[in-house]
Amino acid sequence: MTELLTLSADAQDLLFREARTANRFTEEPVSDEQVAAIYDLMKFGPTAMNTQPLRIVLVRDGEPRERLLKHMADGNRDKTANAPLVAVLAADSDFHEHLPRTFPHAPHAKASFSDEERRAQAATFNATLQIGYFLMAVRAAGLAAGPMGGFDAEGLDAEFFEGTSLHSLLVVNIGTPAADAWLDRLPRLELDVVVRTA
Amino acid sequence: MTELLTLSADAQDLLFREARTANRFTEEPVSDEQVAAIYDLMKFGPTAMNTQPLRIVLVRDGEPRERLLKHMADGNRDKTANAPLVAVLAADSDFHEHLPRTFPHAPHAKASFSDEERRAQAATFNATLQIGYFLMAVRAAGLAAGPMGGFDAEGLDAEFFEGTSLHSLLVVNIGTPAADAWLDRLPRLELDVVVRTA
């Protein structure tokens, strides 16, 4: 079926078919320049009204990493301790402050998000979409990602985001996969379970 | 910065740099085979505990399309009426029924989702991640996507998902972009607004 796709087979493999969630990494560092290149790619993914609410907090070694580890689930703590780079992915509920600049043809865009609950929901939904683009862009950089939902979000938010408009959605280990980086591929749902015609 | 990436420049363009949200399409149809190829690629994107809660409902021309149009926001109705294919993307809160098969090494996985609210939240979050993969896979097929949040979700769910465990998240027009398919690219947030080091 790959011949129905425009994307090259190599690129399909890099982003989807051979890419895997990594649990172990080599010691090779991930540079700020690599992170900038990842952002420079993922930023083009679409969001509703160009809201772009995703925020990326890089947690490097030392004291910030120690502060993060306290809030990770037991099963995730070791792999997070040993990843070259960890990113906390968060949604910014004050994304609407940027709309006069990022959605300039709609002068009322910012005011349409005056309701706090609507704003938090839009931030979470669109930032989550952007996490999909982010994970693809990490893979595009030849790196592996290890996304983890297993952490104490309330504790992490108090630790890193107290007094801000950010709330955490996912923690992602990033690096070059080690030889024993992953388990066997888990089964995917069949086409007829997922896709149907109305 | 593109030389810091492993993904080829062509693939970067196809998926991110030149890909755009399309508002108008040619009449060229989108086949079931193309949809199958798109699913066969996007299904490999990671979800928490391999939950894979995204469901894709294809809305082709005729009566189903008419039923969908009633629930679209005024600004989206015409473009949805004229797209070769429309997909309603939904989250299935009963995704956990598949876990004994899709996450077989953890026998308690299904039971860990017995709480309905936790399940609905996990369904929405992971299906939204999968929407990110889906949009990339549509582009990988050489097609353009037009994602739209502007619809009456309650009305649409009553129309299409009454008595099921599905709830809609996004409606996406899909097809070959027409010559006048999009507006100018909107500005993206600068690196230092989005990425910081803890």
The pLDDT value given to residue A32:
96
Q: Is A33 helix (H, G, I), strand (E, B) or coil?
A: helix
Low-confidence ranges of chain A (pLDDT < 50): none
- DSSP β-bridge partners for residue A148: A171
Q: Calculate the alpha carbon distances from A131 to B39, B70, B72 in Å.
A: 19, 31, 26
**Cα dihedral across residues A109, A125, A177, A189: positive or negative:** negative
Q: Which residues of chain B lie closer than 8 angstroms to A98, CB-CB?
A: 189, 193
Instruction: Determine the Cα–Cα distance for residues A179 and A185; give it in Å rounded to an integer.
Output: 15
B108-135: average pLDDT = 97
Q: Give the residue on B whose Cα is nearest the Cα of A146.
A: B46
B15 class by beta-carbon count within 10 Å (0-12 exposed, 13-18 middle, 19+ buried): buried
Give me the total of CB pairs closer than 8 Å, taking one residue from chain A and one from chain B: 233
The pLDDT value given to residue B1:
61
Task: Identify whether the C-beta of residue B195 lies closer than 8 Å to the C-beta of residue A85.
Answer: no
The pLDDT value given to residue A181:
87
3-state secondary structure B68-114: HHCCECHHHHHHHHHCCEEEEEEEECCHHHHHHHHCCCCCCCCHHHC
Which member of A7, A54, A198 has the closest CB to residue B14? Answer: A7
The pLDDT value given to residue A2:
64
Q: Output B191 or A183, whichever has higher pLDDT.
A: B191
**pLDDT tens-digit series, residues B82-98:** 999 999 999 999 999 99
Which member of B15, B58, B196 has the closest CB to residue A195? Answer: B58
Dihedral pair phi/psi, residue A40, rounded to 5°? -65, -20
| pTM, 2 dp | 0.97
Instruction: Determine the Cα–Cα distance for residues B96 and B84; give it in Å rounded to an integer.
Output: 33
The pLDDT value given to residue A183:
84
- The string over B91-120, giving b where at least 16 C-beta atoms fall within 10 Å of a residue's C-beta and e elsewhere, is bbbebbebbeebbeeeeebbeebeeeeebb
Residue B187 pLDDT > 90: yes
pLDDT band per the 50, 70, 90 thresholds, residue B2: low
Please calculate the CA angle B179-B183-B184 and round it to the nearest 5 degrees: 115
Distance from CA of B148 to the nearest CA of A (A): 7
**pLDDT tens-digit series, residues A2-15:** 679 999 999 999 99
- B45: which 2 tokens? 């994107």
**pLDDT tens-digit series, residues B144-182:** 999 999 999 999 999 999 999 999 999 999 999 998 888
Which member of B45, B56, B130 has the closest CB to residue A16? Answer: B45
A154 class by beta-carbon count within 10 Å (0-12 exposed, 13-18 middle, 19+ buried): exposed
Q: Output B2 or B168, whichever has higher pLDDT.
A: B168
Residue B48 pLDDT > 80: yes
Count CB-CB contacts under 10 A for residue B1.
Answer: 12
What's CA A51's distance to the chain center, in Å?
16
pLDDT band per the 50, 70, 90 thresholds, residue B184: confident
Distance from CA of A151 to the nearest CA of B (A): 13
Q: Which residues of chain A lie closer than 8 angstroms to B33, CB-CB?
A: 1, 4
Instruction: Determine the Cα–Cα distance for residues B45 and B153; give it in Å rounded to an integer.
Output: 26
